[in-house]
Amino acid sequence: MGPKYAIGQKVIIHPVSEKGLTQRDSDLGTYAGQVGQVSNFYSISPSAGQIFHMYKVRVGPEKKEIVVYEDEMEAKLS
């Protein structure tokens, strides 16, 4: 399956809530609810049949680029 989001698409950051937050999860939480724009994406396949899509997203007034997993964001529809 291909990537769900395209370069240039606007998305809303929604970190996945799980027990045992890591430093990355904690940092990503500061962007929760913010709108960003996909600037690039990467697909990785750690084993046969598994594909994960990771995205670089620009957020905030400084357009800071962060890395977000596909399940940590949703499309901004309007």
- pLDDT tens digits, the chain, 78 residues: what are they? 789 999 999 999 997 766 555 555 557 888 999 999 999 999 999 888 889 999 999 999 999 999 999 999 999 997
| Cβ 35 vs Cβ 12: under 8 Å | yes
Residue 17 is classified by DSSP as P
pLDDT of residue 44: 92
Q: How many CB atoms lie within 10 A of CB 64?
A: 12
| Cβ 51 vs Cβ 5: under 8 Å | no
Measured distance CA(54)–CA(10) in Å, rounded = 15
pLDDT of residue 78: 76
The pTM of the whole model exceeds 0.75: yes
